[in-house]
Amino acid sequence: MERRGKIYEGKAKILYETDNPDLVIQYFKDEATAFDAQKRGIIEQKGIYNNRISSVLFEYLGKQRIRTHFVQQLSDREMLVKRLEIIKIEVVVRNMSAGSLSKRLGLEEGMPLAEPVLEFFYKNDALNDPLINDDHVRLLNLATPQEVTALRKRAVLVNHHLREFLDKRDLILVDFKLEFGRHHGQILLGDEITPDGCRLWDKQTLEKMDKDRFRRDLGKVEEAYQEVCHRICGDGA
Q: What is the pLDDT of residues 98-120, one digit of tens each?
A: 999 999 999 999 999 999 999 99
What pLDDT was estimated at residue 95? 98
For residues 112-138, average pLDDT: 96
Q: How distant, in Å, are the alpha carbons of 68, 90, 172 from that of 81? A: 9, 19, 27
Is 194 within 8 Å of 97 (Cβ atoms)? no
* CATH 3.30.200.20 for domain 3-82: yes
Share of the chain above pLDDT 70, in %: 99
Statement: residue 138 has pLDDT above 80: yes
CB of 101 within 8 A of CB of 107?
Answer: yes
Q: Determine the Cα–Cα distance for residues 178 and 191; give it in Å rounded to an integer.
A: 8
What local confidence, expressed as pLDDT, does residue 82 receive? Answer: 98
196-201-205 Cα angle (round to 5): 150
From 1.10.230.10, 3.40.190.10, 3.40.50.2300, 3.30.470.20, which CATH number describes the 85-220 domain?
3.30.470.20
- Nearest-angstrom CA–CA distance, 67 and 168: 23
Q: Each residue of 20-69: pLDDT tens digit?
A: 999 999 999 999 988 877 789 999 999 999 999 999 999 999 999 999 99
**Spatial contact of 36 and 212, defined as CB atoms under 8 Å apart:** no
Q: Please give the pLDDT value at position 201.
A: 98
Burial class for 98, CB neighbours closer than 10 Å (0-12, 13-18, 19+): buried
Give the closest residue to 229 by CA, choosing from 139, 161, 169, 157.
Answer: 169
Q: What is the average per-residue pLDDT within 1-26?
A: 94
| Mean pLDDT of the 179-195 span | 97
pLDDT tens digits for 143-162? Answer: 999 999 999 999 999 999 99
Q: CB of 89 within 8 A of CB of 137?
A: yes
The C-alpha atoms of residue 189 and residue 157 are separated, in whole angstroms, by 12
CA-CA distance, 208 to 213, in Å (whole number)? 7
Euclidean distance between CA atoms 186 and 85, whole angstroms: 10
**Predicted local confidence at residue 235, as pLDDT:** 62
Q: Is the pLDDT of residue 236 over 70?
A: no
Q: Which residues contact 37 (CB under 8 A, 6 or more apart)?
A: 11, 125
Q: Residue 38 has what pLDDT?
A: 79
Q: What is the pLDDT of residue 91?
A: 98
Note the residue count of the chain.
237
Q: Phi first, then psi: give them for residue 121, nearest 5 degrees.
A: -125, 140
Domain-wise residue ranges, the chain: 3-82, 85-220
**Residue 139's pLDDT band (cuts 50, 70, 90):** very high
Predicted TM-score of the model (pTM):
0.94
Q: Which pLDDT band, with edges at 50, 70 and 90, does 1 fall under?
A: confident
